[in-house]
Amino acid sequence: MSTFESGIDPTAIAPRQPGADASGGALRAGFTAMTEGTQADWNRIVEAQLEFYPGLTDRVMSHLGLLSGDYGGFTVDRLTHSLQTATRAVRANRSDSYVACALLHDIGDTLGSFNHPDIGAAIVWPFVDDDLHWMVQQHGIFQGYYFFDYLGLDPNLRDRFEGHPHYDLCAEFCADFDQAAFDPAYPTMELEEFRPLLEGFFARPKRSIYMRGDQS
């Protein structure tokens, strides 16, 4: 659970007090059921979460690393595909947020074999506006334009979104970056080169149910 409702800036982390270990230690709450929680307990939890939060970039990059070596029948592995999609977006001068979405769009492949776009969309949602979130969430349907017919499916499934304000954005993402990113000869950036961009992207959420004023 992330806890930003306190209004504390997650980038302003106070040093851990002596004797308080990373796994909790002196910072642990005392309850065994939430009905027993106190303000002091939740102050400890917030402090622990604020220490945990800065490692988000490392955790995301580690999970991206799990895509390495997984070809799934394609000419490049899933990590290379993700890196190449993002690299193409960089070279097209897209925004940092767009590039981050390009890099993370398939991060759910390892856990969401049947709904991977939803996982990527959930990860980026707190950090992007609605247009980029929708692009990631729907890219699977739009990508199907290029191959669904080979599976006996409707390649024009994306037509259900005709007239949607973000239709063209998602169609362009798939046409220019996603479907074109399976070239083993393409000069693709390394994962570590994206670290500064991801650190900026994850620096502070724009929205979360754990933030004051964002519980709609």
Q: In this predicted structure, what is the pLDDT of residue 214?
A: 59
- Whether residue 11 has pLDDT greater than 80: no
Q: Among 71, 113, 109, 105, which Cα is nearest to 173's?
A: 105
Phi-psi region of 207 (alpha: psi -120 to 50; beta: other; left: phi over 0): beta
Report CA-CA distances (Å) from 32 to 35, 37, 41. 9, 8, 11
**How does residue 102 score in pLDDT terms, banded at 50, 70 and 90?**
very high
Q: Among 45, 67, 56, which Cα is nearest to 113's?
A: 67
Number of C-alpha atoms within 13 angstroms, CB side, residue 54?
12
Q: Among 180, 174, 187, which Cα is nearest to 74's?
A: 180
**How does residue 27 score in pLDDT terms, banded at 50, 70 and 90?**
confident
Burial of 41 (0-12, 13-18, 19+ CB in 10 A): middle
- Whether residue 150 has pLDDT greater than 50: yes
Q: Domains, the chain, ranges and CATH?
A: 57-201 (1.10.3210.10)
> What count of other Cβ atoms lies within 10 Å of the Cβ of residue 195?
13
Q: Alpha-carbon distance 113 to 107, whole Å?
A: 11
Q: Among 186, 216, 207, which Cα is nearest to 82's?
A: 186
- Whether residue 65 has pLDDT greater than 50: yes
Q: What is the mean pLDDT of residues 84-100?
A: 98
**Per-residue pLDDT tens for 151-195?**
999 999 999 999 999 999 999 999 999 999 999 999 999 999 999
Q: In this predicted structure, what is the pLDDT of residue 212?
A: 78
